[in-house]
């Protein structure tokens, strides 16, 4: 049943995914063109593309869930003989798969654009761009993790707000935004507490400072530094996965008990 729901969602999501990718591909084509001309617009469009990816999951998940009611298919969708977790996770999985596909393309185009810009920009030393590119590659796991964390947080917030709109009327949207905001704030506060450090800051996977120093070693034209103490821990990833799992479990419970067609 879950796989059938996933396939159904994938087929229905193709038009909106095509629109988003079409916009991004136009931006990538412009990035490459401006990089060939040595224009700084290529870098500006690169930042814009990354910004779009921070709201990518927000868009695809919000459109997916809201689309059931907009298309008046919620009667069928909510009455499928499947539990809430299957309904929720099939939609989330499709959106996340599309997000990963888009991130892979963004990564490839982004590094290619940097290389082209370094070759053609007269006002910038090619070696300096090469060092920046090496630094970004070194920090990529950290940057990717941050992008995914922000994107998932915004995306799940959109889903929670939509579910609240279907449970509490007419101001469910306000309740959803307020509750999600408090939840995110509470999580951020918790991650700053000693108990969080004692429980989850274990199993170091990534040292940003060490990776960056190794990437730029020997460069006489560029000096980059990272604030000491920026690490990626296996325990922190486990905590985020637990938090996401708990949120999805909440969504599933709401779907089973309270969401109405």
Instruction: Name the stretches of the chain with pLDDT < 70.
Output: 122-128, 215-229, 261
Which 8-state DSSP code applies to residue 71? Answer: T
Give the pLDDT of residue 221.
Answer: 45
Q: pLDDT for 45-101, tens place per residue?
A: 999 999 999 999 999 999 999 999 988 888 888 888 889 999 999 999 999 999 999
Give the pLDDT of residue 53.
Answer: 96
The rounded distance, in Å, linking the Cα atoms of 164 and 166 is 5
Q: H-helix or E-strand containing 61?
A: helix 56-70
Give the pLDDT of residue 2.
Answer: 92
Own/partner pairs, 90-94, CB within 8 angstroms, 24+ separation: 90/2, 90/5, 90/6, 90/8, 90/9, 91/9, 91/61, 91/64, 91/65, 92/61, 92/159, 92/248, 93/6, 94/6, 94/9, 94/10, 94/13, 94/60, 94/64
Give the pLDDT of residue 231.
Answer: 82
């Amino acid at each position: 049943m879950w796989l059938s729901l996933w396939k159904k969602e994938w087929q229905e999501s193709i038009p909106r995914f095509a629109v988003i990718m079409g916009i991004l591909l136009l931006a990538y084509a412009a990035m490459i063109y401006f990089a060939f001309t040595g224009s700084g617009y290529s870098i500006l469009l690169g930042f814009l593309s990354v910004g779009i990816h921070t709201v990518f999951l927000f868009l695809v998940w919000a459109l997916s869930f809201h689309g059931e009611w907009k298309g008046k298919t919620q009667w069928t969708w909510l009455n499928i003989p499947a539990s809430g977790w299957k309904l929720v996770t099939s939609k989330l999985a499709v959106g996340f798969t599309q997000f990963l596909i888009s991130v892979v393309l963004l990564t490839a185009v982004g590094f290619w654009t940097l290389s082209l810009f370094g070759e053609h920009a007269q006002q910038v030393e090619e070696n300096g761009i090469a060092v920046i590119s090496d630094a970004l590659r070194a920090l990529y796991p950290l940057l990717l993790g941050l992008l995914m964390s922000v994107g998932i947080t915004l995306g799940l917030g959109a889903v929670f707000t939509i579910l609240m709109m279907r449970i509490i009327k007419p101001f469910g949207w306000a309740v959803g935004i307020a509750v999600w905001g408090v939840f995110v704030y509470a999580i951020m506060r918790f991650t700053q507490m000693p108990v969080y450090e004692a429980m989850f800051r274990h199993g170091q996977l990534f040292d940003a400072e060490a990776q960056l120093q190794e990437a730029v070693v020997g460069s006489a034209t560029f000096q980059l530094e990272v604030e000491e103490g920026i690490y990626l821990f296996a325990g922190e990833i486990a905590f985020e996965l637990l938090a996401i799992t708990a949120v999805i479990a909440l969504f599933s419970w709401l779907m089973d008990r309270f969401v109405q067609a």
